[in-house]
Amino acid sequence: MANLIYLSPSNHGKNSNKCLKENCYEDKHTRPIAEVCARYLKASGFDVIVAKESQNMAARCSESDARGAALHVPIHTNASSSPSARYLLFMFYKDSDVYRKIYNAVAPRLEAIYPGNLKAQFWKRATLYEINRPKAKTIYCELGFHTNKTDTDKFIHDPEMVGKALAQGICDYFGVPLKTSTAETTIPAAPSYSKGTAVKLKNTPLYANSTTKTAAARVTGTYYLWDGKVVSSRMRITNSKARVGLKGQVTGWINKADI
């Protein structure tokens, strides 16, 4: 029987722990990370459960125990009153060789893609329910800060990158290769972001530039990537294939994550 990994993205509730990204909050951006991680783990031979949105922590821990999880993985992002606060944090029941082995497998994979080359932190935090309650060993992940612009623009909202790195770390811990070739056949291919690519949008926020926080309008229909370049997690679009790349023919900017 394959090892079962229980992934528990945050469950604070809709619009709780709001993110710097418009219309986003912690539960909304951690679930895609868990889903990408799950697809890669399944492709690599693991059994995986992603906790349902409706489940509270007690129900999640009970399900993890009942199904015999080999590893319990809460997935969260952090918040701070200081907009400059940033780090990757992994919390465990105790500081021991067993838990350090999990940390030493998972943390380097996330460090490698986290902007700024910051060292991940190991914390003993036995008082947290989803650390002390599950029978399985738990690695409680705080994957950056949803109150920090760098993290929101370049890390948290790239679930393919973050979810894959988390899956790779879990594979490293169990001594299992991440089967990227298999995963690539089961995970939808990442969309093309090349110049002129057609994108279908539905009520998508449209911005005047790459940095403004307030949308100027919302657009629906088929548009085209004006130059295929990503600037501050946004891309320029135009409303006609014939206008791609032409000066003065940018309709506006959209978030890459909205494509």
**Domain segments of the chain as ranges:** 4-186, 198-258
pLDDT digits (tens, 9 = 90+) for 126-170: 999 999 999 999 999 999 999 999 999 999 999 999 999 999 999
Span 244-252, average pLDDT: 94
pLDDT digits (tens, 9 = 90+) for 76-86: 999 999 999 99
Is residue 259 within 8 A of residue 200, CB to CB? The reply is: no
Q: What is the pLDDT of residue 185?
A: 39
SS (H, E, C) 12-47: CCCCCCECCCCCCEHHHHHHHHHHHHHHHHHHCCCE
| Residue entry with tokens 């007690």 | 58
Q: Which two tokens stand for residue 35?
A: 């889903």
pLDDT digits (tens, 9 = 90+) for 7-41: 999 999 988 999 999 999 999 999 999 999 999 99
Q: How far apart are CA 86 and CA 258, in angstroms?
A: 24
pLDDT reading at 196 higher than 70: yes
Q: How far apart are CA 234 and CA 142, in angstroms?
A: 25
3-state helix, strand, coil in the chain (%, to 5): 30, 25, 40
Question: At 259, is the pLDDT very low, low, confident or very high (cuts 50, 70, 90)?
Answer: confident
> Which pTM does this prediction carry?
0.70
> What's the CA dihedral at 31, 37, 42, 47 to 10 degrees?
-60
SS3 157: coil
Topology given in CATH for the domain delimited by 4-186: Aminopeptidase (3.40.630)
Q: Which two tokens stand for residue 234?
A: 């946004």
Q: Is 188 exposed, middle or buried (0-12, 13-18, 19+ CB in 10 A)?
A: exposed
